[in-house]
Amino acid sequence: MKNLKFIIAFNGMKYHGFQRQPKERTIQGQLETAFKKIVDENVKITGCSRTDAGVHARNFCFNTFTKSRIPEENLVRALNSMLPSDIAVLSCEQAEQSFNARFSAKGKEYVYLINNKNNRDVFLQGLCLHYPHEINLEKMKEAAKLFIGEHDFAAFCKSENKKHELGKHGTMREIFSFEVEEKDGFVELIVRGNGFLYNMVRILAGTLIYVSEGKRTQEDITDAFKTGDRNRAGKTLPPCGLYLNKVFY
Amino acid sequence: MKNLKFIIAFNGMKYHGFQRQPKERTIQGQLETAFKKIVDENVKITGCSRTDAGVHARNFCFNTFTKSRIPEENLVRALNSMLPSDIAVLSCEQAEQSFNARFSAKGKEYVYLINNKNNRDVFLQGLCLHYPHEINLEKMKEAAKLFIGEHDFAAFCKSENKKHELGKHGTMREIFSFEVEEKDGFVELIVRGNGFLYNMVRILAGTLIYVSEGKRTQEDITDAFKTGDRNRAGKTLPPCGLYLNKVFY
């Protein structure tokens, strides 16, 4: 059995997230259907993360074991011809038997994209958050720095994170970097870390927006770390602006 | 009556072009419906150009006469709230009574966008041409220069251009500039001219692709000008890559 490592990109607009669900259109569902037609096997796909409905990915990794001897290059071509045009297989290579797209991941990079212009962007519908209000970049940059390092992010995730799903680190996570960049009327929040809780990036981004609006202070963030109080953080921004950019192994 | 000049952007993917058609979804149809709700008048809209089904616009101009006294700023806001999210009103200002979006135009800039990467771009479906083959930029740049100046473009338009619609200049048009630019795996063909015939930009772009592929030579282009022979030009590229970028008055 070969263990194949794939990198894909997808526009999540029309999907209920990555993970297979019985009655919903999901990325995993599309991939498994395409695989079945090509390799005539029920392959089991392991994705690097779930991703919510409407969230996008520029480089999402998954792995799967297969008996198929189809060369990797041909598999990429065949999958691309089977998959809908909002999913693209970028690469495929053989990995070690021990490689697991989820558990081998050392870190991930997410981007939250905000259109800060007065007008909506007709070419980025469902692909960014339109926020046509003044943004205080300096305040956001300063607040973003507070997230860097190892912290308990209990206040920055959806309370539905079930304890048994959290793993050995509970709600502790390490953020490696958190940048706030402005270019041509767009603001990008770029965050790298060793892992992210349910809704965490969207809540971190929403907290920075609240800081920009003066609804939260730097103290609220440090208090949120201490108390785990979700109300000290900001709102959860919509999924349309969120991109899984890279996975690090 | 005020003569109002509007600039809009639209994603043409789901539309049968700009111009109103009885049974089709068009940009003009959407605009007139929105206007009727706001100003309670049957306004007559004059667009700067038609634009085919599936063609996009970053800055499309139209004008309309209205009795309404709603301030321009409020009209923009009201229209944006009424229009579907793939049409955006960018600005509105009062124009001279003699201003006509179509006949006052001194020139236009179009862009043809080509994704030259191996993989399709899941975020630009319907918004570019995916051409995953080698492109000879130098050949294309040299050939593009031949189009600059005043020429008879009879060979570079769809034969359906009806004579009575061509106007006093027939198939004579002047191209001011024609640039071929490559950036991050995308190639942009940027052409400015005093006017364009039916399908002309898509045929010019297709001719440059044929030159890159060695299917046409520089001589074919100069011969096409002399003979008006459509077969000397290249194929008509699909509408998805075409953007009306600017109109000059």
**pLDDT for res A162:** 57
Interface A-B: count of C-beta contacts within 8 A: 49
Query: Under 8 Å CB-to-CB from A192, ≥6 apart: which residues?
Result: A107, A108, A109, A110, A175, A176, A177, A178
pLDDT tens digits for range B124-182: 999 999 999 999 999 999 999 999 999 999 999 987 655 556 677 789 999 999 999 99
Enter the tokens of residue B37. Answer: 């709700």
Three-state DSSP state, A2 = strand
Q: State which H helix or E strand residue A205 sits in.
A: helix A200-213
**pLDDT for res A163:** 58
Nearest CB to B122: which of A11, A119, A122? A11
ipTM over 0.90: yes
CA–CA–CA angle A38, A41, A45 (5° rounding): 90
Nearest CB to B120: which of A88, A119, A123? A88
Enter the tokens of residue A18. Answer: 């990555």
Average pLDDT of chain B, as a whole number: 94
User: Best of A13, A56, A123 to disrupt the B interface by mutation (most B CBs within 10 Å)?
Assistant: A123
pTM (whole model) above 0.90? yes
In Å, how far is B130's CA from the nearest CA of chain A?
11
Query: Under 8 Å CB-to-CB from A237, ≥6 apart: which residues?
Result: A112, A129, A202, A203, A205, A206, A209
Per-residue pLDDT averaged across A18-23, rounded? 91
User: Best of A122, A129, A184, A245 to disrupt the B interface by mutation (most B CBs within 10 Å)?
Assistant: A122
Q: Using N-to-C axis directions, what is the helix angle for A218-227 and A137-147, rounded to 10°?
A: 20
* 3-state DSSP percent of chain A in helix, strand and coil, to 5: 30, 30, 40
B228-231 CB contacts, 8 Å cutoff, 24+ apart: B228/B152, B228/B154, B228/B155, B228/B171, B229/B155, B230/B155, B230/B156, B230/B159
Indicate if B121 belongs to the active site.
no
Query: Chain B 66-105, CB below 8 Å of chain A: which residues?
Result: 80, 85-90
Enter the tokens of residue B223. Answer: 């011969």
3-class SS letters over B87-114: EEEEEEEEECCCCCCCCCCCEEEEEEEE
Residues of B in contact with A11 (CB under 8 A): 122-123, 125
pLDDT tens digits for range A125-174: 999 999 999 999 999 999 999 999 999 999 999 876 555 566 777 899 99
**pLDDT for res A101:** 97
What are the backbone dihedrals phi and psi of residue A197, each rounded to the nearest 5 degrees, phi first? -80, 170
Residues of B in contact with A125 (CB under 8 A): 11, 85-86
A114-to-A59, A125, A139, A190 alpha-carbon distances in Å: 20, 12, 16, 11
A119 in reach of chain B (CB within 8 A): yes
Distance CA A35, CA A63 (A): 12
Distance CA A152, CA A168 (A): 13
Q: How confident is the model at residue A13 (pLDDT cuts 50, 70, 90)?
A: very high
Residues of B in contact with A122 (CB under 8 A): 9-11, 56, 85-88
Residues of B in contact with A119 (CB under 8 A): 9, 80, 88-90
User: Best of B8, B77, B82, B122 to disrupt the A interface by mutation (most A CBs within 10 Å)?
Assistant: B122
**pLDDT for res B50:** 87
pLDDT tens digits for range A36-87: 999 888 889 999 998 999 999 999 999 999 999 999 999 999 999 999 999 9
Residue A106 has pLDDT above 60, yes or no: yes
Chain A: residue nearest B120 by CA? A88
B127 in reach of chain A (CB within 8 A): yes
In Å, how far is A12's CA from the nearest CA of chain B?
9
Nearest CB to A123: which of B11, B89, B122? B11
Nearest to A70 by CA among A40, A30, A107: A40
Residue among B52, B121, B152, B220 flagged as catalytic: B52
Residues of A in contact with B9 (CB under 8 A): 119, 121-123
